[in-house]
Structure 1
Amino acid sequence: MARFLIKKEKTIGQVPGEPVFIGEQKVSSTSIQMIDYDKHTLTDMKIEDIREAIKHKDTSTVTWININGLHDTELIKKIGEGFNLHALVLEDIVNTGQRPRLEDYDNCLYLVLRMMFYENKTGKVQSEQLTILVGETFLLTFQEKPGDVFNPVRDRIKNQKGRIRKVGSDYLAYAILDTIIDNYLVIIERIGDKIEDIEDLILENPDETILTKINSYKREINYLSKTIRPAKEFILQLCKLESEIIKEPTRTFFRDLLDLSSQAVDAIDTYRDMLSDYLSMYNSQVNNKLNEIMKVLTIFSAIFIPITFIAGVYGTNFDFIPELHFKYGYFVMWGAMIVLVLFMIRFFHHKKWF
């Protein structure tokens, strides 16, 4: 049970709102990237001092600040002071065991979810916590380590694709969430392709490796469900949220995002049902195979029962058995047993028992 709970030993006795890093430190040092833009200008740079980014907080441009590494609590405090963030937000940012959710604060929206992508080399799903803070003119993203799925968003900003340079931080939040949900769907599709291949394997040769695959995919699907289902819930909250930060034109895009997340949840449910069906099919195939083996053994046993009986009769220790002194008795016994065996084989074949 402990592996499903967030470890809270470090926070026992701490003042509420005091940021204490909880989780695995995945980088040695924190890095910060800032993209500041409007319709006509663009600044894309790595910064060493967070104060450089804070200066853009109250400008008319949209400022996207991406922080890689959550262990530096002093930096998190400086960000909190510079952007007037609630103390509980800072505490949650550095806790990597958060459940996906949305909270509305006075000057920003707090969103936390899992960012996942499919690693082609290993064939495994990589996952990390992502915190998004959306203000009127700024957006902050906090990642556990460098590497994310946001390159398409950065490309749209740099090359002025679509409307992203013409609108505010709420649309940038939509673009980021859209990329995350798209990657959810890609992951589900990749795992789904593997799941669909199991049916042919079960019909061809239902060995124990198939059972291992079914159980492995069930674990992956359950993990995806625990990640994506709560994300769908807070996207639904976003659609209904009455906040000045989310402009009415952007709500239409969030409703489309809700539809995508619903597709992801439906696909997960479908593949979970398929795995349950495949498990039943596997057990049925194994039982059928076992029944076939038992049938063959039973037929052999049935054939040898009369032969054993004949051999047993003539193997008794009576002094006088008439056939023992018959010149051709031995051959007659063999002939009778062979005829009996052939008759039984013919009878079983006629009944289509083998």
Structure 2
Amino acid sequence: MIDAYRNTSKKVGMPPGSLIHVGDFNEEDTRISVIDYGSIDVEEPSVETVEDLLKFREKDSITWVCLEGLKNVEITELIGKYFDIHPLVLEDILNTHQRPKFEEYDDYLYIVLKGLSLGEEGVEADEFNVDYEQISILVFNDFVFTFKEWKDELFLPLIQRIRTSTGRIRSLGSDYLTYAILDSIVDQNFVLLDSMDERIDVIEAELLSDPTSNTLVSIQHLKRELINIRRSTSPQRELLSAILRSDHKLIGEKTHIYFRDVFDHVLRISESVDSYRDMLAGLLDIYVSSVSNKMNEVMKILTVFASIFIPLTFIAGIYGMNFEYMPELRWKWSYPILWVVFITLPVVLVTYFKKKKWL
């Protein structure tokens, strides 16, 4: 994720409000999907151009416009033109390396945060890889715009609720829809952390059984991903706090309790990330201890062998000297006796080591 900032150099020297897409994901086509609903009916019209959205302004309903793919800058520029959005907001939407934040304007609200999901490559390779997507939300009185970097099914459960439900989401305004969108994005982090928890359990089992250099690589990989996750999720607490403190006319009293619920989820995620960081630090310590213990076991075996052969080498060294007067060299049973000593001495030493629990 640190490397993601390399593309920001595209904007160097350009005036504020210059619209240029800065991001690592370039969807060739921008998909515009619309769902217009009220308490009675739901409509999902096919929309080809931004001008097609203008007819929904005359309706007494909530219109949710979702744009997936930001490479086509002209579409974002036209939305800004027809809905009177500040150029700096449009610039932030297209620059996908924003810090999560909440901004208030006279007629609309601007929210930006990161959507996190488990990468498909990580699932296939049984590894933990995270995809980071910037999601921008513009909230009007009867319109909500979401700008996403790529096409996926993140909001599909929410769309299904709008289609089938006749309850709260269909009867309340754009602020409740905004809550539901934020809730969908934040809750995705729980799925991600569950996957991380499973991966940590696997690494912990490896550490207790047979740690290898690959285990250390996995721990370091998880630590880097966790740093990036923390960088993306920690500012969400400030974002939700700002929403809860806001007295903007677009945020109704009734929806404050729902935003508090999202805030609680963000706190739980933040606490989980901190606990996983401590767990990974502990796993790294366990790995170092395991490798050290393994080395100690090897050194213990080598020391035992050296201790056994030291006296044997000493005896062999004595009788290997070239002195003329060594009476034992002329004894008839010297050689068999020496072999008895060679065999008995290691047995005695091994028995002694076991008694002392050194083996």
TM range (shorter): over 0.9
Instruction: Tell whether the 8 Å contact from 1:156 to 1:162 is kept in structure 2 after alignment.
Output: no
SS at match of 1:149: coil
SS at match of 1:7: helix
The letter for the 2-side match of 1:299 is V
SS at match of 1:57: helix
Give the aligned partner of residue 251 of structure 2.
246
The letter for the 2-side match of 1:76 is T
- Verify: 1:57 aligned to 2:57, yes or no: yes
Decide whether aligned partners of structure 1 residues 276 and 2 sit closer, same or farther in structure 2, where only a CA change above 3 A counts: closer
Give the aligned partner of residue 320 of structure 1.
325
CA RMSD of aligned residues (A): 1.8
2:266 corresponds, among 261, 264, 269, to 261
- Kindly provide the CA deviation profile for residues 3-61 of structure 1, in whole angstroms up to 9, marking residues without a partner as x: 26453322122221121111235222222111111112322123111111133235431
Give the aligned partner of residue 22 of structure 1.
22
The letter for the 2-side match of 1:35 is I
Q: Distance in 2 between matches of 1:136 and 1:41?
A: 19
The letter for the 2-side match of 1:223 is N
The letter for the 1-side match of 2:3 is R
Q: Distance in 2 between matches of 1:300 and 1:71?
A: 69
Q: How does 1:269-284 map to 2 (within 5 A)?
A: 269-284=274-289
Give the aligned partner of residue 329 of structure 1.
334
1:288 corresponds, among 290, 293, 298, to 293
Q: Distance in 2 between matches of 1:16 and 1:149?
A: 32
Give the aligned partner of residue 351 of structure 1.
356
Cα shift at 1:239:
1.0
Decide whether aligned partners of structure 1 residues 211 and 12 sit closer, same or farther in structure 2, where only a CA change above 3 A counts: closer
Give the aligned partner of residue 89 of structure 2.
89
Please state which structure has a larger fraction of its residues in helix: 2
- Kindly provide the CA deviation profile for residues 136-183 of structure 1, in whole angstroms up to 9, marking residues without a partner as x: 111001111211311111111111253101011110010011011111
Q: Distance in 1 between matches of 2:10 and 2:313?
A: 76
The answer to which of 250-259 and 160-169 deviates more is: 160-169
Cα shift at 1:252:
0.6
Give the aligned partner of residue 32 of structure 1.
32
Q: Distance in 2 between matches of 1:201 and 1:319?
A: 62
SS at match of 1:56: helix
Give the aligned partner of residue 162 of structure 2.
157
- Kindly provide the CA deviation profile for residues 248-299 of structure 1, in whole angstroms up to 9, marking residues without a partner as x: 1101100011001111111111111111111111211221111111111101
Q: What is the TM-score normalised by the length of structure 1? A: 0.95
Cα shift at 1:219:
2.1
Decide whether aligned partners of structure 1 residues 25 and 306 sit closer, same or farther in structure 2, where only a CA change above 3 A counts: closer
The letter for the 1-side match of 2:8 is K
2:136 corresponds, among 131, 135, 153, to 131
The letter for the 1-side match of 2:231 is K
- Kindly provide the CA deviation profile for residues 95-120 of structure 1, in whole angstroms up to 9, marking residues without a partner as x: 11112111112221111111223356
The answer to which of 163-172 and 201-210 deviates more is: 201-210
The letter for the 2-side match of 1:36 is D
- Verify: 1:218 aligned to 2:218, yes or no: no
Instruction: Tell whether the 8 Å contact from 1:37 to 1:61 is kept in structure 2 after alignment.
Output: yes
Cα shift at 1:2:
6.9
Count of aligned positions: 354
- Verify: 1:42 aligned to 2:42, yes or no: yes
Q: Distance in 2 between matches of 1:222 and 1:30?
A: 31
Give the aligned partner of residue 111 of structure 1.
111
Q: What is the TM-score normalised by the length of structure 2? A: 0.93
Q: Distance in 2 between matches of 1:58 and 1:290?
A: 76
The letter for the 1-side match of 2:241 is L
Q: Distance in 2 between matches of 1:6 and 1:174?
A: 33
The letter for the 2-side match of 1:326 is W
Unpaired segments ≥5 residues, structure 2: none
SS at match of 2:14: coil
Point out 4+ residue stretches in structure 1 off by more than 6 angstroms: none
Decide whether aligned partners of structure 1 residues 316 and 32 sit closer, same or farther in structure 2, where only a CA change above 3 A counts: same
Q: How does 1:67-216 map to 2 (within 5 A)?
A: 67-118=67-118, 121-122=123-124, 124-216=129-221
Unpaired segments ≥5 residues, structure 1: none
